[in-house]
Amino acid sequence: MSKYITTPIYYVNGEAHIGHAYTTFIADSMARYEKLKGEDTYFLTGTDEHGQKIEESAQKNGKPTQQFADEISASFKNLWDEFEIDYDKFIRTTDEDHKKGVQKAFEAMYAKGDIYKDFYEGHYCVSCETFFPETQLVDGEFCPDCGRSTNIIKEESYFFRLSKYEDALLKHYEENSDFIMPRSRANEVINFVKGGLRDLSVTRTSFTWGVKMPNSIKDDKHVMYVWLDALLNYITGLGYGKDDKNMHFWPASVQFVGKDILRFHAIYWPAFLMSLDLPLPKHIAAHGWWTRDGEKMSKSKGNVISPKQVADAYGVENLRYFMLREVPFGQDGDFSQRAFIDRINSELSNDLGNLLNRIIGMSGKYSDFEIDSVDVLKYHVKELEAMNTVLDSLDTYMQNFQTHRYLEELWRLFSIGNKAIEEHAPWVKMKENKKDEALATVALVANILAKAAIMLSPIMPRTTNTIADALHFTIDNSSYTEFVQNKKLLKLFNIKVVPPLFPRVEEPLMPEAPAAQPNAPKEIAKEDNKSLVEQDNLIEIGQFFETSLKIGVIIEAEEVEKSKKLLKLQVDLGEGKLRQIVAGIREFYTAESLLNTQVCVVANLKPAKLMGMISEGMILAAKDEDGLCLIRPQIPKKAGTPIG
């Protein structure tokens, strides 16, 4: 059976950041894994270039939209090429073939009676390119997904009969419990659909930067809705609407997305496919969100991590390893240099790198870099069994996208190798004139390393090629079949000396996340001794001290159900018991990211009730048009330390 793997196509309104890199790394690793297993695999990625958001970004940058899209799209493609992402096609929604495919799909849906013309009036969020009903808006105005202000739009529009597919979608989720992965995410989708689906506006007349209507529907003032256009890339990328050349890869085996766009992929997309009479993808796999040092990344905070910068500092393969090892698929992850360095030093350098160095060293010393596996079975049945058990367990993890478990298990192989060396101490055996036995242990470990390298190759393709080079074999489908599936031992190793693969990292190689950048102060001409403060609402210092401000440490944090804005926090103010504070910061911070962080608290505020929950204080934050950030002490202080 063939395999088809996709990433979302990324918007060209800004350069790639670490979140884009993460999705691309997972998809690339999965595609490489399937290719290693000999599956006929197609891997698609690309850029999403239409819509109002891109048009506005281009204007802000003072560039013609097409030129702007060309430049950013190229920057994504160049980065993936530099990272050796093994995609089979990089699609752009401004490609002529794609546009034709979208028009063809529109015609097919129209012919089926699934598209009709009407009027739309609603609140539109340009940033999310989505309409929201009034009931979903926060404070009657703001987007429930990104918190930005929405615009009221009334326009003529073509609608897709999404409501018609409500039952079919629910049936599909029920019959295919692994359609949405991880399964824990399925409920939010199912509840959304159960809440009732409204027909979807799929064209716009308020701007022109989009795929034109098909010629057969003469209605030039409309262009396609960007999500209809974008989602269809997954089939136009296979030749839908042109030559269908690669349509035999459809349905996709897995479509990776971030949790932010799960709804589009698990509701709209399958409904479009049903309308087109095409089968649905096997899995929509939604991963979690990356934060930096516990904070959401945003341009305004100046803490966005450029994957290129990390790769230049630490190596792209180390980054791939870190990101795929650090977080369970589906959960949020935090990028901190400390955690990254720890994994490089302990897992890559110590466990793997040192083991390889030891084998290179011992083989050189004991047998002039030539070893064979003839005696391995005689002395190491126990280790071989343990090794095979690990190898057999790996596939399940990968099929469930649990790369962190896959790597954790894979690392057991190095423990088996290290333990065998300690227990059998080849250097002692050499002294006792038991060279066969000593070399059997070296050969065992060389085999372990070789097999581990094969299985690690989808995640660290370049590094594992170097390992294979050192051990004198090649990583490909035939070595996978022979040494992993059929469990054969490699015969002869002509070991080659290679430089250490993972030099230890002693201190951070990149500047730490910048503290929030204040706007540059305006130049003010100040006359000596004259106060510039001339307001009539001034207070005495004593009045200020009526407010009790204290340092608090957040001990627990959870999302408040049914609220897009609120988090419920338990905060230590050094009072012997925790205070409950309900704070409207959910759009800017995840609950997890707040744990054990310090904040400034107004401690003598009258308790208030928010959504039925008592709140015994207020947390200080600063908010401007770019977003909100918490005010924190520059260095940690004891809980309860007074501020003033």
Residue 320 makes contact with ligand ME8 by CB under 6 A = no
User: How many residues of this chain bind ligand ME8 (CB under 6 A)?
Assistant: 19
What's the closest the beta carbon of residue 533 comes to ligand ME8, in angstroms? 41
Query: Where does 83-155 have alpha helices with state H?
Result: 96-111
CA distances from 176 to 30, 231, 331 (A): 21, 21, 22
Among 26, 297, 341, 449, binds ligand ME8 (CB under 6 A): 297
Calculated CA dihedral for residues 237, 243, 245, 247, nearest 10 degrees: 60
Structural contact between residues 585 and 621, judged by C-beta atoms closer than 8 angstroms:
yes
Near ligand ME8 by CB under 6 A, which window of 5-13, 239-247, 365-373, 415-423?
A: 5-13
**Residues paired with 124 in a beta bridge:** 131, 151
Residue 581 makes contact with ligand ME8 by CB under 6 A = no
Residue 461 makes contact with ligand ME8 by CB under 6 A = no
Number of Cβ within a 10 Å radius of residue 232? 27
> What are 308's two structure tokens?
């290129």
Phi, psi torsion values for 493, nearest 5 degrees: -110, 125
3-state SS of the chain: helix, strand, coil percent to 5?
Answer: 40, 20, 40
For ligand ME8, the closer CB: 323 or 416:
323
What's the closest the beta carbon of residue 150 comes to ligand ME8, in angstroms? 18
Binding mask of the shown chain, residues 203 to 242, with x at each position contacting ligand ME8 by CB under 6 A: ---------------------------xx-x---------
For ligand ME8, the closer CB: 72 or 571:
72
Q: What is the spatial distance between Cα 213 and Cα 337, in angstroms, rounded to a whole number?
A: 49
DSSP 414-457: HHHHHHHHHHH-HHHHHHTT-HHHHHHHHHHHHHHHHHHHHHHT
Contacts of 533 (CB under 8 A, 6+ apart): none
What's the closest the beta carbon of residue 69 comes to ligand ME8, in angstroms? 12
> What are 409's two structure tokens?
């298990």
Structural contact between residues 296 and 596, judged by C-beta atoms closer than 8 angstroms:
no
For ligand ME8, the closer CB: 20 or 185:
20
Q: What is the spatial distance between Cα 502 and Cα 90, in angstroms, rounded to a whole number?
A: 31
For ligand ME8, the closer CB: 383 or 587:
587
For ligand ME8, the closer CB: 110 or 289:
289
Residue 182 makes contact with ligand ME8 by CB under 6 A = no
> What are 392's two structure tokens?
């057999």
Residue 473 makes contact with ligand ME8 by CB under 6 A = no
Burial of 220 (0-12, 13-18, 19+ CB in 10 A): exposed
Binding mask of the shown chain, residues 16 to 35, with x at each position contacting ligand ME8 by CB under 6 A: ---xx-xx------------
Structural contact between residues 409 and 393, judged by C-beta atoms closer than 8 angstroms:
yes
> What are 116's two structure tokens?
């009709």
For ligand ME8, the closer CB: 22 or 406:
22
For ligand ME8, the closer CB: 457 or 593:
593
Q: What is the spatial distance between Cα 339 and Cα 320, in angstroms, rounded to a whole number?
A: 14
Near ligand ME8 by CB under 6 A, which window of 59-67, 256-264, 533-541, 558-566?
A: 256-264
For ligand ME8, the closer CB: 234 or 473:
234
Among 25, 87, 289, 314, binds ligand ME8 (CB under 6 A): 289
What's the closest the beta carbon of residue 333 comes to ligand ME8, in angstroms? 8
For ligand ME8, the closer CB: 230 or 629:
230
Residue 601 makes contact with ligand ME8 by CB under 6 A = no
For ligand ME8, the closer CB: 7 or 441:
7
Among residues 499, 410, 415, the alpha carbon closest in space to that of 463 is found at 499
Near ligand ME8 by CB under 6 A, which window of 15-23, 34-42, 195-203, 475-483?
A: 15-23
Q: What is the spatial distance between Cα 398 and Cα 411, in angstroms, rounded to a whole number?
A: 15
- 35-74 residues near ligand ME8, rule: CB under 6 A: 48
> What are 323's two structure tokens?
């990101």
Please give the residue whose beta carbon sits closest to ligand ME8 in the complex: 19
For ligand ME8, the closer CB: 228 or 446:
228
What's the closest the beta carbon of residue 289 comes to ligand ME8, in angstroms? 4
Residues lying near ligand ME8 in the complex (CB under 6 A) are found at 8-11, 19-20, 22-23, 48, 230-231, 233, 257-258, 260-261, 289-290, 297
